Structure 1
Amino acid sequence: MKGSILDYQPDSRSGVISGEDGQRYQFDASQWQGSDEISAGRSIDFVANGDKAESIYPDKAAVSNTASTKKIAAALLAFFLGAFGAHKFYLGYTKQGIIMLVVFLLGFIMLGLPSIVIGIIAFVEFVIYLTKSDDEFDRIYVQGVRPWF
């Protein structure tokens, strides 16, 4: 059955799944069959056994579609507006976005050298984003916290 994780508590290693049938199912982290971390809002496939969920697998199609969309948008922002940190803001890395924006704008005072470096960093990140697979991009930049390269 398909569903999504409504809540997950890492300390108790348990959570709640909302099934496509409208029912809620309790689950234990030992039933997780994915290689990545469990997170709320995630689309999954599972086997319902009474009010318990078993054999829980991440829905790869849902991950790939979301990751692909975010990856393409982040790459385009890095290419066209990367010097302003737009791709950092888009991925939720506000602090790094502000750093890029400030260094780029203030870089003109120092003969433009810092601005050129920020532009190069943005271009390198554009290339890195495009060379990562959708799942890898999602794991590293969306679910994980890796703000630089």
Structure 2
Amino acid sequence: MRGKVLSFSDATGQGLISGDDGQRYSFSRADLMGGARSVAAGMAVDFEGSEGVAVSVYVIKSGIPDKNKWVAALLTFFFGIWGVHKFYLGKTNAGIIMLACGTIGWFLILPGLAVAFISFIELIIYLFKSEQQFHEDYVAGDKSWF
């Protein structure tokens, strides 16, 4: 059966899947197959479910690769004041704001300094977040800033 991960806690190793049949299934890290050690909310999965428990949970690879936190960090380091990392993560509005402030904003000095500071803070955050937390916040989630 196919479904979508609703939640997963790395600390407890427990999660919840919403199946295509409308039921919810609990699962644990031991049920993850194919070498997966963790999943993020919103990931599509294939599993066997019975009595509210999912076993043999496989992550379904979509044709589109996930965004990588290291690529986002490098883009932030080299092109952060222009918001290139925001466009990479699909946060277009935030990217446009940073692009405007990072180009014409330097005429007023303060907007340019603000986006440089924001880029530096985001670089540090990207580097210290776990892969799962990065995915939950910036790829699957709707977080655009910090």
CA RMSD of aligned residues (A): 3.3
Letter in 2 for 1:131: F
Give the TM-score, by structure 2 length. Answer: 0.65
After superposition, the C-alpha distances for 1:8-44 in whole angstroms (9 at most, x for unaligned) are 9xxxx9643xxxxxxxxx4612x1437964x3x5245
**Which residues in structure 2 correspond to 1:16-55 (within 5 Å)?**
16=20, 26=21, 28-29=23-24, 31-33=25-27, 37=41, 39=42, 42-44=44-46, 46-47=47-48, 54-55=53-54
Q: TM-score, normalized by length of structure 1?
A: 0.64
Q: 1:76 to 1:59 in 2, by over 3 A?
A: farther
Q: Call closer, same or farther: CA 1:5–1:15 in 2, change over 3 Å.
A: closer
- 1:106-129 Cα offsets, whole Å, 9 max, x none, are 22221x332122111111101100
Q: State the identity as a percent.
A: 34
- Structure 1 alignment gaps of length 5 or more: 17-25
Q: Which amino acid aligns with 2:23?
A: D
Q: CA deviation at 1:54?
A: 4.4
List runs of 5+ in structure 2 lacking aligned partners: 7-16, 29-38
Select the structure of larger CA radius of gyration: 1
- Give the conservation status (yes or no) of the 8 Å contact 1:47–1:53: no
- Does the 8 Å CA contact 2:85/2:95 hold for their aligned counterparts? yes
1:146 to 134, 137, 143: 143
Q: Which residue of 1 aligns with 2:75?
A: 77
The count of residues paired between Structure 1 and Structure 2 equals 121
